[in-house]
Amino acid sequence: TEPGEALARFLVERSFASAVFFCNSGAEANEGAFKMARKWARAAGGGEGRHEILSLRGAFHGRLFGTLAATDRPAYRLPFRPLAGGVSVVERDLDDLATAMAAGTVAAVIAEPVQGEGGVRVLDAGYLRELRALTREHGALLILDEIQCGMGRTGSFFAYEQAGIEPDLLTLAKPMAGGLPMGAILMSAEVAAAMAPGDHGTTFGGGPFVASVALHVAERLADPALLAHVRENGAWLGEALAGVARRTGRVRAVRGVGYMWGVDTHEKAGDVVARALDAGLLLVTAGDHTLRLLPPLVTTRADLARGVGLLEAALEGAPSIRGGGEG
Ligand X SMILES: Cc1ncc(COP(=O)(O)O)c(C=O)c1O
Q: What does the binding site for ligand X look like in residue numbers (CB under 6 A)?
A: 25-27, 30, 60-62, 112, 116-117, 145, 147-148, 173
Non-local (6+) Cβ contacts of 44 within 8 A are: 50, 139, 194
Please measure the distance between the N-terminal and C-terminal CA atoms of the chain and give it in whole angstroms. 63
In this structure, the number of other CB atoms found within 10 A of the CB of residue 121 comes to 20
- Name beta bridge partners: 110: 55, 143
Helices 125-137 and 94-101 meet at what angle, rounded to 10?
10
By three-state DSSP, how is residue 91 classified? coil
Pairing relationship of beta strands 121-122 and 114-115 according to DSSP bridges: antiparallel
Alpha carbon separation from 127 to 91, 94, 105, 116, 186 (Å, rounded)? 13, 8, 22, 17, 22
- Name beta bridge partners: 284: 292
Residues 57, 60, 65: CA angle, nearest 5 degrees: 110
C-alpha 23/C-alpha 8 separation (Å) is 12
Instruction: Please give the helix or strand (H or E) that residue 114 lies within, else none.
Output: strand 114-115
By three-state DSSP, how is residue 320 classified? coil
At residue 172, φ and ψ (nearest 5 deg) are -130, 155
Beta strands in the chain (DSSP E): 19-23, 52-56, 87-90, 106-111, 114-115, 121-122, 141-145, 169-172, 183-187, 251-257, 260-265, 284-285, 290-293
- Indicate the DSSP class of residue 177: B
